[in-house]
Amino acid sequence: MSFIFEVPEVGEGVVEIEISEWKVAVGDVVDVDQALCEITTDKASMDIPSPKRGRVVKLYGEPGDILGVHTPLVELELDTSAPAPAPKAEAPAPAAEKPAPAPAAKAEPAKAAPAPAPAPAPAAPAGPASDPASRGVTKATPAVRRHARELGVDVATVPGTGPKGRVSHADLEKAASAPAPAPATSSAHAAAPVASTAEDKRVPIRGIRRKIAQRMQAAKQTSPHFTYVEEIDFTELVRVRSALKPRAAAMGVKLTYIPFIAKAVSVAMRQFPEVNAVMDEAASELVVRGSHDFGFAVDTPNGLMVPVIRGVQNKSVLALAEEMGDLFARTRDGKATRTELSGSSFTLTSVGNIGGVLATPILNTPEVAILGINAIRKRAMVMDDDSIAVRHMAYLSPSFDHRIIDGAIAAKFIKVVKDLIEHPEVFLMELA
Amino acid sequence: MGRALSKGSLRNTRIEEIQMSDTHYQAIVIGAGPGGYPCGIRLAQLGVKTLVVDKEFWGGVCLNVGCIPSKALITAGKRFKQIKTADMMGINVTGDVSIDMGKLQEWKGGIVNKLTSGVGTLLDANGADRIMGTARLDGDTVVVSTEDGEKRFTADHIVIATGSRPIQIPGFEFKDAPVLDSTKALALEEVPGKLVVIGGGYIGLEMGMMFSKLGSEVTVVEMMDSVLPGFDKDAIKIIKRSLKKSGIDVLTKTKALGWEKADSGIVVNVENAKGAKAIEADYVLVTVGRFPNGENLGLETAGVEMDGRFIKTDNQRRTTNPKIFAIGDVACQPMLAHKATYEGELVAEIIGGHNRVYDARTVPAVVFTDPEIATAGMSEEEAKARGEIKVGKVPYAAVGRSLTTGETDGFFKVIGDAETKEILGVVVCGVNASDLISEAALAIEMHTELLDMGLTIHPHPTLGEGMMEAAKAALGEAIHIVNR
């Protein structure tokens, strides 16, 4: 008996997977729970175990191919003791009911002829890309097309699980809840390095890289953004943080500079609420967000992710540090939930860890601003009294959507942030 | 035509009060035709403070001097002919059968009045304001010239739904009494003895056939080598046969040069390869197409660009000024009322804050010739150009109900993708085709397969069975014709 194993639901909101490597070949006999292949989703890579014992008859796809959830992955012949099965007439054709001679044989199943065994039931739908039914047109009814639009999902990219690859409302919901791929800075995160050989190699843009590519392109195309750079004297904050670090550590919290910077930004936003906003392109409206929900770009083994800390305006530096420690760790381990990875109103990205003087971040659209935080380095500075002192300096390089934020606003906003960071004692006045 | 439509009776008086204090709207819709009025209603339903402006009629050309009145007269023409030919069913009409054009116009006017006052009532009931006047843009401001002078309004969003008008050609000016555009033709208080129709497209043939039934001697003059250029070849064959049967003279590859007064009536001068010819007539009707009303609107003051004759729009019908939308005939082809309505509601929802896009797969088209033609989806040629197809064609004569109407000329044609079996296009030519095509449009929007249509039980005895049969014919499974 033949059994078609479909791509299982490997995670909430995961609508497609990429085959990384087959661990079995056609003809192999596999046991229950034996790994069939390794796959990559936009979140993680994992092995897919076989649900049944059987002989592998067919593998659907090559490494690098993308398959929709619930599309065929592997065909197994379950009764491995039996010899290769001869095609047998399954499902008696309702020929007797037909007054006219003919059609039965003409009906659909004939197409499946080359398969070694008759497929059970109507063959499972193939992925949308390979579905000839659509010939390049995504099959979706008018109601589904409208729903897609409302969810902000491009219906053409949604794998349909309905008959002949038809996109259902459920397919859309899944696609819509897929994680928003992270923003990246233009300097960091080039495509995975290609093995250095004498020959050119073509690397398909797949999985999370494809998502990132789409998002970056969309951000650059829809939003004319500019980057503004200011240098900040961190010396005072370095001192304050060193003094507080052991106290935080005693409470099990790792205190970095990021919570201070986030807090400074949040305070500055009280004067410039339009920086904490997202664009509703369809309505040509700016949605100024009431809550300071900050996304933080985090480099993970699976690519760049943006976990979100909500309500920054209501949280202390210590609380932020604690929440960041926990959330960022879970993000790196691929354990952050969908909700924790979406819905930010402003993004911060630290870009100096590896090197470089400054980077120009690309917006995490539909947000209208992102803050690039560059490395703190000691530099010789000319002080007010013309003396030269060694100071801890860093550049902040925020990018703003110029449709909304003018240069003057950007400069004034960053001036407030700078003042707070350079004079950390002002935070005392912010205590509720 | 339509005395009852006098501007005074339909002008909204509430606007005067509004004028006093408030000249800002969230949305202003310019034009109250089949695009503008549904747009205004939907906007108001969504809670958007809306003003609808029209320069002459609520309901636009379509309800007042287009689709609706022409169908009333076409029905009358058909009824007249049916009475005269009823003897084949054993109905003997004794005495004179005659047309009282004045009374017919009165009946038509009543229908128009009912529909257009309904439009006004709906706009009011939903809370949209309306004003009668000619609008133009002055930057962000909409300036409306009314009987009481100029009024200025500002708006967050503006929807241009100004429609189109009949194209005038050199030598034939609509201001001259014997030269008719469709509007004037539909308002005639007499049946022309002889009528020349310039333009053998669908409007020309609808009107020409209608007047022929009412008793006119009709000549159709067409520049191209066939009437109904661009339509399904098989449908054109049927229509040509019908034209011939009703004694309508069709001159193709013929150019109309001008007209002049004659002893009785006029003569229309035409020219073709055979030479020049003067055709005697009482009226000459010019139906060579429609031109979008995109001029004199002050579009340039608002940064709204044109794309040829049309206003340039994106797939949300947004113009090059993101505050301003354009819908219907003034925005793009096809210039059909139902497409305008779809766009009107689409744009209203976008302005109302919903994420929408024009993503209809097909705009069905209907032609009220005798017999009618209705199409949805791709033509046979378009489908063929795209890949291998299967075509099922069933004549009306194979459908029982068709025989009982006494009108058996026509066919159902269903075009499917040979590989996927998806229905790509449908052509129906025959009696009541216009009422049959909606099923096909739904089928195409739903990505239906030939077999879905073939296996859907259609009630007997109806004309709709022909559609089901044609879908089966495409698969070689039709019952009532010999499958090939």
B47 touches A: beta carbon within 8 Å: no
Cα atoms found within 13 Å of the Cα of residue A79, Cβ hemisphere only? 6
Q: Does the annotation mark A292 as catalytic?
A: no
Report the gap between the CA of B471 and the closest CA in chain A (Å). Answer: 14
Q: Alpha-carbon distance B433 to B430, whole Å?
A: 5
Contact (CB, 8 A) for B218 and B248: yes
Question: Is A164 within 8 Å of B420 when comparing Cβ atoms?
Answer: yes
Residue B422's nearest CA partner among B396, B435, B440 is B440
Instruction: State the DSSP code for B304.
Output: P
Domain-by-domain residue ranges, chain A? Answer: 2-84+103-112, 209-429
CATH number at B3-166+291-351:
3.50.50.60
Question: Is B355 within 8 Å of A134 when comparing Cβ atoms?
Answer: no
Residue A367's nearest CA partner among A281, A298, A427 is A281
Q: Alpha-carbon distance B19 to A406, whole Å?
A: 36
Q: Most A CBs within 10 Å: which of B48, B357, B363, B420, as the mutation test of the A interface?
A: B420
Give the pLDDT score at B255: 96
Crossing angle of the two packed helices B67-84 and B202-214, in degrees rounded to 10: 40
Give the pLDDT score at A123: 32
Question: Is B356 within 8 Å of A106 when comparing Cβ atoms?
Answer: no
| Alpha-carbon torsion (B104, B106, B111, B115), positive or negative | positive
Pairing of strands A369-373, A346-350: parallel
Q: Alpha-carbon distance B263 to B266, whole Å?
A: 8
3-state helix, strand and coil shares in percent for chain B, rounded to the nearest 5: 35, 25, 35
User: What is the CATH class of A209-429?
Assistant: alpha beta
Which residue in chain A has the smallest CA separation from B421? A133
* Cross-chain CB nearest to B420 (options A135, A150, A283): A135
Give the pLDDT score at B439: 97
Question: Is A102 within 8 Å of B477 when comparing Cβ atoms?
Answer: yes
Give the pLDDT score at B2: 36
Residue B473: enclosing H or E segment and its boundaries?
helix B465-474
Question: Is A282 within 8 Å of B477 when comparing Cβ atoms?
Answer: no
Query: In angstroms, what is the C-alpha Rg of chain A?
Result: 28
Cα atoms found within 13 Å of the Cα of residue A4, Cβ hemisphere only? 19
Contacts of B419 in chain A (CB under 8 A): 132, 135
Instruction: State the DSSP code for B92.
Output: P
Instruction: State the DSSP code for B198.
Output: E
Q: pLDDT below 70 — which residues of chain B?
A: 1-22, 484
Torsion of CA B261, B262, B265, B268, to 10 degrees: -70
* Cross-chain CB nearest to B356 (options A132, A134, A146): A146
How is domain B365-474 classified at the CATH fold level?
Answer: Enolase-like; domain 1 (3.30.390)
Report the gap between the CA of A113 and the closest CA in chain B (Å). Answer: 15
Q: How far is CA B476 from CA A49, B450, B455, in A?
A: 46, 11, 14
How is domain B179-288 classified at the CATH fold level?
Answer: FAD/NAD(P)-binding domain (3.50.50)
Query: Which H, E and C letters describe chain A, residue by residue?
Result: CEEEEECCCCCCCCCEEEEEEECCCCCCEECCCCEEEEEECCCCEEEEECCCCEEEEEECCCCCCEEECCCEEEEEECCCCCCCCCCCCCCCCHHHHCCCCCHHHHCHHHHHCCCCCCCCCCCCCCCCCCCCCCCCCCCCCHHHHHHHHHHCCCHHHCCCCCHHHCCCHHHHHHHHCCCCCCCCECCCCCCCCCCCCCCCCCCCCCHHHHHHHHHHHHHHHHCCEEECCEEEECHHHHHHHHHHHHHHHHCCCCCCCHHHHHHHHHHHHHHCHHHCEEEECCCCEEEECCCCCEEECEEECCEEECCEECCHHHCCHHHHHHHHHHHHHHHHCCCCCCHHHCCCCEEEEECCCCCCCCCCECCCCCECEEEEECCCEEEEEECCCCCEEEEEEEEEEEEEECCCCCHHHHHHHHHHHHHHHHCCCHHHHCCC
Question: Is A135 within 8 Å of B445 when comparing Cβ atoms?
Answer: no
Which residue in chain B has the smallest CA separation from A135? B420
Residues of chain B numbered 214-233 and touching chain A (CB < 8 Å): none
Query: Which residues lie across from B130 on neighbouring strands?
Result: B52
Crossing angle of the two packed helices B36-45 and B337-351, in degrees rounded to 10: 30
Give the pLDDT score at A179: 60
Query: Which H, E and C letters describe B139-156, residue by residue?
Result: CCEEEEEECCEEEEEEEE
pLDDT per residue over A64-78, tens digit each?
A: 788 888 888 998 888
B473: left (phi over 0), alpha (psi -120 to 50) or beta: alpha
| CATH 3.50.50.60-classified regions of chain B | 3-166+291-351, 179-288
Burial (CB < 10 A; 0-12, 13-18, 19+), residue B79, is: exposed
**Would you give per-residue pLDDT tens digits along chain A (432 residues)?**
788 888 887 766 677 788 888 889 888 888 888 889 888 776 566 788 888 888 898 888 888 788 888 888 998 888 655 444 443 434 333 333 333 333 333 333 333 333 333 333 333 333 333 333 344 567 888 888 888 888 888 888 888 888 888 898 888 888 887 765 544 444 333 444 444 456 777 777 766 677 778 888 888 888 999 999 999 999 999 999 999 999 999 988 999 999 999 999 999 999 999 999 999 888 888 999 999 999 999 888 777 889 999 999 999 999 999 999 999 999 888 788 878 888 899 999 998 778 888 899 999 989 999 999 999 999 999 999 999 999 999 999 999 999 999 999 999 999 999 999 999 988 788 766
Q: How far is CA A225 from CA A273, A349, A363, in A?
A: 18, 16, 7
Question: Is B355 within 8 Å of A149 when comparing Cβ atoms?
Answer: yes
Give the pLDDT score at A240: 92
B360 touches A: beta carbon within 8 Å: yes
Contact (CB, 8 A) for B143 and B152: yes
Contacts of A132 in chain B (CB under 8 A): 419-420
Q: Most A CBs within 10 Å: which of B446, B447, B452, B482, as the mutation test of the A interface?
A: B447
- Model confidence, pTM: 0.60
Which residue in chain A has the smallest CA separation from B422? A133
Residues 6+ apart with CB under 8 A from A385: none
pLDDT per residue over B250-296, tens digit each?
A: 999 999 999 999 998 999 999 999 999 999 999 999 999 999 999 99
Q: Alpha-carbon distance B56 to B278, whole Å?
A: 37
Residues 6+ apart with CB under 8 A from A132: B419, B420
ipTM over the 0.85 cut-off: no
Q: Return the ∠ at Cα A290 (arms to A286 and A295), rounded to 5°.
A: 85
Chain A residues interacting with chain B (CB cutoff of 8 angstroms): 99-100, 102-103, 106, 132-135, 139-142, 145-146, 149-150, 152, 164, 166, 280, 282-285
* Cross-chain CB nearest to B477 (options A103, A134, A282): A103
Burial (CB < 10 A; 0-12, 13-18, 19+), residue A301, is: exposed
Contacts of A102 in chain B (CB under 8 A): 476-477
Burial (CB < 10 A; 0-12, 13-18, 19+), residue A201, is: exposed
Cα atoms found within 13 Å of the Cα of residue B227, Cβ hemisphere only? 32
Q: Alpha-carbon distance B29 to B38, whole Å?
A: 10
Give the pLDDT score at A157: 83
Residue A300's nearest CA partner among A273, A334, A277 is A334
Q: Alpha-carbon distance A200 to A219, whole Å?
A: 30
Q: How far is CA A359 from CA A233, A356, A413, in A?
A: 18, 8, 19
Tokens encoding B201? 């497209």
Q: How far is CA B35 from CA B7, B25, B32, B314, in A?
A: 20, 19, 7, 17
Q: Alpha-carbon distance A298 to A197, whole Å?
A: 31
* Cross-chain CB nearest to A133 (options B353, B357, B420): B420
Report the gap between the CA of A141 and the closest CA in chain B (Å). Answer: 5
* Cross-chain CB nearest to B354 (options A100, A150, A166): A150
User: What is the CATH class of A2-84+103-112?
Assistant: mainly beta
Catalytic residues of B: 460
Residue B290's nearest CA partner among B177, B366, B204, B170 is B204
Question: Is B445 within 8 Å of A141 when comparing Cβ atoms?
Answer: yes
B387 touches A: beta carbon within 8 Å: yes
